Structure 1
Amino acid sequence: MNRGSLRVKFIALWSVLSLAKIALAARLPLFVDEAFYAWESRHPAWAYSDLPGMTAWLIGLGRAMAGGQVLAVRALFLVIGAALPWLVVRIAARWFGTEAGWRAGLWALLMPLAGLTGVLAMPDVPLLLAALLCLDGIAQLRERVSVAGWLALTVGLVVGGFSHYRFAIVVLAGLLGLVCDARSRRLLRDARLWLALAVGALAWLPLLLWNLDHAGAGWRFQVLERNPWSWHLSALTWLPIQALVVTPLLFVFALLAGVGLQRRRREDPDGPWGLLFGIGLVSVAGYFVLGFFADAERVSFHWPLAGWLVLVIALAGLDRPHTRGWAVATNAVAGLGLASVLVWLMAASVPAWRKRLATTGFYPQDFAGIAPVVDALRKKSLPADARIVADNFEIAAQLAFALDRADILVLDHPHNHRHGRAAQLAQWRVQWNAADRVSGPPTWLVVDDGAVSMKQRLQAYHALCAQMGGLTAADVIEFDRGRQRYLLFAPPASASRTEQHCITPALAWIDAPTGKQVLRSSFAVSGWAFKDGAGIDRVVITLDGQPVADADYGRAMPQVAGYWKISTDPQQPRVGFDAVVDASALPAGKHRLGLVLYGKNGSVEVWPAQTIRIAAGADRP
């Protein structure tokens, strides 16, 4: 493939992808972490509990320039993301020639994680910029010590230090790369390199001071609390996951390039192979080894991205794949992967499309947003001084952005501690103080009902009662076919807001039919439902959202009362229901079986529906 063709393809793909990224960034609801970073931008600081200040600064600057829209939050990240492939081109071209530069840049665009960098306002965006700037600086300095090379390295170190704790691994990878490369090792004797490292080290000072002021809460979470540091086999999934996010053929060829670097290092000691080998060893293989001991609960597939970009540069320098057929296949498979992720993100950005994914394994839960919750709050015509309390930091952050309010309060929820945000919330003084519940303006409570597992939900409801001094009936806000379910509690009716009676949301379960059964035109439905503090008056069975039968309610189910020992439903243990549903008018195939629960206090709650399958006509009686 000639140089001009590669350049044209790179520029064309970069242009189309940039436009697609802007369109996505303008429509896609904020990822939950993005919302928290946007909340941090309302509290300018040098460092926070989860991150140094760079991400919040970029968001704050974007919002200052372009307002409070989602696109403004992501604006500067889009700019950085658009610049990254050009940096890859520059680095590869300096070492291996112009054609290799365009080839590496093209692969950086086709690799879904790298090509779509900047759509989300995440700390990995400036971290990647910092890593490539450092590599570009070293690439210049190993050829000739210059002011430009020194500045690139210094700026990269400073940006990285202000971006993420994980930049420490980038620094470690770079130092090992210098040691593994004979020509680069000479830089270790140059005082100017150590000056750059010293300036970069100053960027870590705010993070150090924050941790000293908060008993090491940030370091403790990042290093100790989130990582079990015990052997587990979860890392075995790392290889197939990385093969998907890098795309399979590019993944294989990049790994082969990494293995081949050691041999090329011996054959051509004057080339950058040792430098690339050392960096790749830490930033790709190192993460694989770390996976056997580190956090297996949270998303981490994006961590080695900087290392994959280094291996892509090496792959371009090694002029592989050798044959045109393999090169075309590699690009085609990578392009298909990129297109698939683009389509998935587009679906996540359109509510109707996202709803269709709700019953599949591809449902984009973290991009669902909370627009229906915000609409419900606005319909309440809240007074200007109304207090809004969220049960965990994720809802609070999303409400703060959507309502443009800096005074959203948060309950002390296990979720806040599990994700290392509790210390930051305490510093901001936004945690709900139970002592304030009897005075001040009315309080509205928003609860993510899906944040707690079903078996712990009743206990969580009772804990809410204790924290809020009682609960009145909740508005149930459900969307995306029940995958998202929120509870909105109104202020207690009493003007004094003293201890109130605890009326919890209803809990229910359909025992039969199960999702594995193929049902005939008439089938039985059975299960249980209860509502602490009030009781259930009526259970209605629905198909595809339409009522089809009134259930007989009140069958004794002592096993339910035995399991939910703390239940205060006055009807316990007579909480079972039974019904017979006539589905003869419905077409064969998948349908949604649900419940509507009517409380004795006048509440009406839609319970999340489940998928059932009705047999074809020939199989019906």
Structure 2
Amino acid sequence: MPAPVTAESETDAGLGWWLRPPALILFVVVLTAIRLWAGGHAWLSEDEAYYRLWGLHPAAGYYDHPPMIGWWIAAGQWLVGDNALAVRLVGILATALGSLALWRTCLLLHGRRAAGWAVLFFNATILIGIGSLIATPDTPSVLFWGLTLWALAEWLKPGKAASANWLLAVGLFAGLGLISKYSVLFLGAGIIVWLVAMPRARAAFATWQLWAGGILALLITVPVVQWNAAHEWASFVKQFGRAVPHGWTSRFIGEFIGAELGLLNPAIAVIALVGIGVAVARTVRRRDAGWALPLLTSLPFFAYLLFHSLHNRVQANWPAPLFPALVLMAAFVAADIETRSGMMARVLKILRAVAVPIGVAVSLVIYVHAVTPLTGAFARKDPTFQLRGWPEVAREITELAKREDAAWVATSAYGMTGQIAFALHEAGSALPVFQLDERIRYAMDPSPDPSLVVRPALYVAVTRRDRSDELAARFAEVELLATVTREVAGVALEQIRIYRIAGAKGGAQAVFSHDTE
């Protein structure tokens, strides 16, 4: 395979119009506008509704994850108010920024043609296309992982005397990634692997900027460590505890690999697999630092996910930070297909041609479906089922609260807490919502007013997870008032029970517990 074309030697003249910057900018701007529309009109998922509460109470840490997604949501709420768009705003814009960073990274490593394909492929992956609409910690972790690769590519480019300062940016972006999601720790390990393995990259060890960048990354995480120290290391215990195996099985390996190939976009996945093969060969035989960068920096995290799949399920979104690297390797191959011949080249050309239309079309259908359901036939198997029917539930709760003189709403699940709180807010109700257990999740929120929680309340639970039998130990009165059915397009999704609870036994403090699942 020929040496990659450099950014300095290639011009736009030889590119198809779809790979030129004006077309790419228009592509990203239009997609971003559509995502903003969908993000402002689609209801929140359970996790998003829960993270919305983080945005209302910014903190240095939370039980489930580091704080970045909470800060992003807080910024959105400050900009556009407390609504669905606010929860998703910064994440959607971050995907556009990530596209720009990926273009620049690929431009430096493999030239303009590859850079164009990187932008197209990135936005055509199923996980990024759909995930960009959902506010989760994966979104900032993907952005900062990609920005870290960009800074390394800037440092790697030849002929620039001041490039060592980019190693400070590496530390900055890696640190911000660490306070987005703890899995970015593996990126640090991957950077070390790349620096040690590539002769061209080892020069970094002789620069003070590399060590200062590492210190900067650690300093950025200090507030998160302090938060954990003040809260019994809750977040660290929860997340790092998942790495401990409790038995071994091979049942999840196929599921893990299959899910990621599908979420990458099957057409892009095949091209990326070819790219991985080429990257391995060029890394081993030629010590090509450019090809090795996305490969080796991803290796520790992929190895961990593979290890995890040997004892437990890998959630589909977990590998999201690997997608910028996978897209880079796919783009390298896509840019060089014309230099190939034979059946493989023909297959790759076909996959390259259909990858973007397929990925974008799937995303657009999901966006429309998230806003206005196209069908209810899939019921709970529909990935958007969490978004449906909450205004009706809020209406019933509001009416019952008035009738029963209830002063607050109780739940026993964080997803229900978030959904009911958001639904009541959207309905204009000021009823506060408190989860009775797992209070560590709400350490950022002031404790419920004792004078409030001793008053009558409504308890809300999904029928299949109803824990009302436990209420008798905490409340003197427990009465089922109503059952509401969440629906989509006339198809029942689940039933929600609403109880009246009153007479807190042992006072306000006895009502709540800090136990976690």
- Give the Å deviation of 1:271: 4.1
Letter of the 2:286 counterpart:
D
Distance 1:317 1:239 in 2: 22
1:478 aligned counterpart, secondary structure: strand
Is the contact made by 1:137 and 1:150 (CA closer than 8 Å) also made in structure 2? yes
3-state SS in 1 of match to 2:248: coil
Equivalent residues of 1:475, 1:488 under 8 A apart: yes
| 1:487 aligned to which of 497, 501, 504 | 497
Hey, what does 1:346 align to over in structure 2?
Answer: 368
Q: In the aligned structure 1, how far is the partner of 2:355 from the partner of 2:116?
A: 18
CA offset digits 1:337-382 (Å, max 9, x no partner): 44224323422332x53534317x3353333362221111223463
Unaligned 5+ runs, structure 2: 1-13, 507-517
- Select the structure with the greater relative contact order (CA < 8 A; seq sep ≥ 6): 2
Name the % identity: 21
1:306 corresponds to 2:336: no
Deviation at 1:268, TM superposition (A): 3.5
| 2:211 match: secondary structure | helix
2:275: which partner in 1?
A: 257
8 Å CA contact 2:32, 2:93 repeated in 1: no
Map of 1:467 onto structure 2:
474
Q: Distance in 2 between matches of 1:114 and 1:148?
A: 30
SS in 2 for 1:60: helix
Amino acid at match of 2:386: D
Match of 1:277 in 2: 295
* 8 Å Cα contact 2:61-2:228 kept in structure 1: no
Q: CA contact under 8 A between 2:164 and 2:209: conserved in structure 1?
A: no
> SS in structure 1 opposite 2:479?
coil
1:133/1:82 Cα in 2 relative to 1: closer, same or farther (>3 Å)? same
Q: Would the alpha carbon gap of residues 270 and 389 (structure 1) be closer, same or farther in structure 2, given more than 3 Å must change?
A: closer
Judge conservation of contact 1:2–1:99 (CA < 8 Å) in 2. yes
* Contact 1:180–1:275 (CA under 8 A) maintained in structure 2: no
Say which SS state the counterpart of residue 402 (structure 1) adopts. Answer: helix
**TM-score normalised per structure 1:** 0.70
Query: What's the CA shift for 1:399?
Result: 2.4
* 1:289 Cα deviation from its structure 2 partner: 3.2
* Partner Cα separation in structure 2 for residue 182 and residue 228 of structure 1: 36
* Residues 445 and 98 of structure 1: CA distance in aligned 2, closer, same or farther (over 3 Å): same
Q: For structure 1, which segment, 333-342 or 196-205, has the greater mean C-alpha deviation from structure 2 after superposition?
A: 333-342
Q: Report what 2:220 is aligned to.
A: 203
Q: Counterparts of 1:181-580 in structure 2 under 5 Å? A: 181-224=198-241, 228-233=245-250, 234-269=252-287, 271-293=289-311, 295-296=312-313, 300-318=315-333, 319-321=335-337, 322=340, 323=345, 326-350=348-372, 352-353=373-374, 355-358=376-379, 361-362=381-382, 364-368=384-388, 370-380=390-400, 382=402, 386-404=407-425, 407-412=432-437, 416=438, 422-425=439-442, 428=445, 440-450=454-464, 452=465, 460-480=467-487, 481-491=491-501
Aligned equivalent of 2:44: 30
Q: Which residue of 2 aligns with 1:132?
A: 146
Secondary structure of the residue aligned to 1:292 is: coil
Change (3 A) 1:432 1:445: farther
Query: Hey, what does 1:542 align to over in structure 2?
Result: none
Higher Cα radius of gyration: 1
Q: Which amino acid aligns with 1:374?
A: A
> Could you tell me which of 138, 160, 172 is aligned with 2:177?
160
Deviations 1:263-310 (CA, angstroms, capped at 9, x unpaired):
2124433541233331232243542333213x42xx722222332321
Q: Distance in 2 between matches of 1:292 and 1:320?
A: 36
Deviation, 1:223, is 1.6
Give the deviation of 1:464 after TM superposition: 2.6
Q: Structure 2 vs 1, CA of residues 2 and 76 (structure 1 numbering), >3 Å: closer, same or farther? A: same
Cα distance, 1:110 vs. partner?
Answer: 1.2
* Residue type of the alignment partner of 1:136: W
Deviation at 1:229, TM superposition (A): 4.4
CA contact (8 A) 1:388 1:409 kept: yes
How far has the Cα of 1:486 moved from its partner? Answer: 0.9
Maintained 8 Å contact 1:104/1:316:
yes
Name the aligned partner's letter for residue 95 of structure 1.
Answer: L
CA distance in 2, matches of 1:283, 1:181: 19
Shift of residue 468 of structure 1? Answer: 2.8
Judge conservation of contact 2:168–2:209 (CA < 8 Å) in 1: no
CA RMSD in angstroms, aligned pairs only: 2.9
Residue of structure 2 equivalent to 1:585: none
Greater per-residue helix proportion = 2
Contact 1:10 1:105 in 2 (8 A): yes
Q: CA deviation at 1:53?
A: 1.8
C-alpha distance after superposition, 1:100-127 (max 9, x if no partner): 1111111111112223443112111111
Distance 2:386 2:195 in 1: 40
1:490 Cα offset (Å): 3.0
> What residue is the counterpart of 1:558 in the other structure?
none
Identify if the C-alpha distance between structure 1 residues 55 and 285 changes in structure 2 by more than 3 Å, giving closer, same or farther: same
Distance 1:385 1:358, change over 3 A: closer
Q: Write the deviation string for residues 512-540 of structure 1: whole angstroms up to 9, x where unpaired.
A: xxxxxxxxxxxxxxxxxxxxxxxxxxxxx
State which drifts further: 172-181 or 278-287. 278-287
**2:117 aligned with 1:92:** no
1:4 aligns with one of 6, 17, 25: 17
2:66 and 2:180 in contact (8 A); partners too: yes
Q: Is contact 1:374-1:399 (8 Å) kept?
A: yes
Distance of 2:386 and 2:194 partners within structure 1: 37
Shift of 1:139: 1.1
The answer to whether the 8 Å contact 1:390/1:410 transfers is yes
User: What's the counterpart of residue 80 of structure 1?
Assistant: 94
> 1:20 maps to what in 2?
34
Shift in Å, 1:60: 0.9
| CA distance in structure 1 between the partners assigned to 2:247 and 2:448 by the alignment | 33
Instruction: Read off the aligned partner of 1:387 and give its amino acid letter.
Output: W
Q: CA deviation at 1:216?
A: 1.9
Would you say the 8 A contact 1:391–1:447 is kept in 2? Answer: yes
Q: Tell me by how many angstroms 1:232 deviates.
A: 2.0
- When residues 336 and 109 of structure 1 are mapped into structure 2, their CA distance, relative to the original with a 3 A threshold, is same
What CA distance in whole angstroms lies between the structure 1 residues aligned with 2:353 and 2:165? 34
CA deviation profile, 1:142-183 (whole Å, cap 9, x unmatched): 234437624532331232122111111222222222222211
Amino acid paired to 1:106: L
Greater shift, 313-322 or 233-242, is seen at 313-322
For residues 346 and 410 of structure 1, what CA distance do their matches in structure 2 show?
Answer: 33
CA shift, 1:316, in A, is 2.6
What is the alpha-carbon distance in structure 1 between the residues aligned to residue 241 and residue 352 of structure 2?
40
Instruction: Write the distance in 1 (CA, Å) between the matches of 2:35 and 2:188.
Output: 30
For residues 458 and 317 of structure 2, the distance between their equivalents in structure 1, rounded to whole angstroms, comes to 37
Distance across 2 between alignment mates of 1:314 and 1:231: 32
Distance 1:125 1:190, change over 3 A: same
